Amino acid sequence: MGEAEEVNVMLNSLSILGIVFALVLFLIAFSAIILYIAFRVKEALREEGKRGVTVVKVAFLIGTLFLAGGGLYFFGRVITQTPISTVTPTPTATPKPTTTPLPSPTPTPSLPLPTITETPTPSETEKPRLTLTVTYPSRVRIRSKFTVTFTIINPTETTVHDVTIHLSMLLEQFSVESSSHKLVGNVIEVGEAPPGTIICQLNLISPTKPTKAHETVTLTYREMSKPITQEIEIAVTGKP
């Protein structure tokens, strides 16, 4: 509460005390006047009859009541019209708590996931494979020339190494005239077989007497899982 509010309270208190004091003085003065008038009236009417005295007393009391009522009404209006200052407390602003903003989390950069490359095992790796086709005449005349053709096909994308064709009885019964590839003993050395087709030709001469030759042609190479074989049979006919 400030000094101005304390001064207002003191002024209001003094105003109320002043009004009460004035009211008390008014009542005292009014009572004295009433008593004086009553005394004078009583003296003046002492000699008159009893009835007249009674009427005067009643009129005097009624007038006294009207005067007292008027005085009280006057002081009541004065009191009600006098403003009484009320002290309105000034609201004290409550300080708001200071909110400290939380730091935003720093985004963590996403790390790239490692790429896993599967290395195929030897069993999963495609093994090179070859196919063999032998073309020959099934019947020839004695002392005649003919050709046996070996067709090798590599369908894969891998080059095959150390390719050889093995013969046995055929070279013992027939004479070799020429060969498209190197012939060592009864083995035709083809060498490497890249993707595609290789044709190997063997030119032979039939014997001088009739016979029947049976041969097992075997194809081998370094990367093979098992040899490739093919059966052939050639009949030699005619008179010596």
pLDDT at 123 over 50: no
Residue 180 token pair: 């498209």
> When comparing pLDDT for 108 and 40, which is higher?
40
Q: What order do you get walking across the sheet with 196-205 strand by strand?
A: 131-135, 145-154, 196-205, 175-179
What string of DSSP letters covers 190-239?
A: EEEE-SEEEEEEEEEE--SS-EEEEEEEEEE-TT-SS-EEEEEEEEEES-
The set of residues, in sequence order, having a beta carbon less than 8 Å from that of 24 and lying 6+ positions away, is none
* Choice between 100 and 185, residue whose per-residue pLDDT is larger: 185
Q: Which amino acid is at 61?
A: L
Residue 206: name the closest of 170, 160, 155 by CA.
Answer: 170
Task: Name the 3-class secondary structure at 146.
Answer: strand
Task: Name the residue with higher pLDDT: 217 or 79.
Answer: 217
Decide which of 3.40.50.720, 3.40.50.620, 2.60.40.10, 3.30.70.100 is the CATH code for 131-237. 2.60.40.10
CA–CA dist 168, 178 (Å, integer): 17
How is residue 9 written in tokens?
């309270």
> Cβ distance 234 to 143 under 8 Å?
no
Contact 211, 236 (CB under 8 A): yes
Average confidence score pLDDT of the chain: 78
Compare 8 and 50 and report the one with higher pLDDT. 8
Sign of CA dihedral 180, 183, 188, 193: negative
Residue-level pLDDT at 79: 63
> 154-209 pLDDT, tens per residue?
999 999 999 999 998 888 899 999 999 999 999 999 999 999 999 999 999 999 99
Domain boundaries, given as residue ranges, for the chain = 3-81, 131-237
pLDDT at 193: 92
Per-residue pLDDT tens over the stretch 25-76? 777 877 777 777 777 666 666 655 555 666 666 677 677 767 777 776 776 6
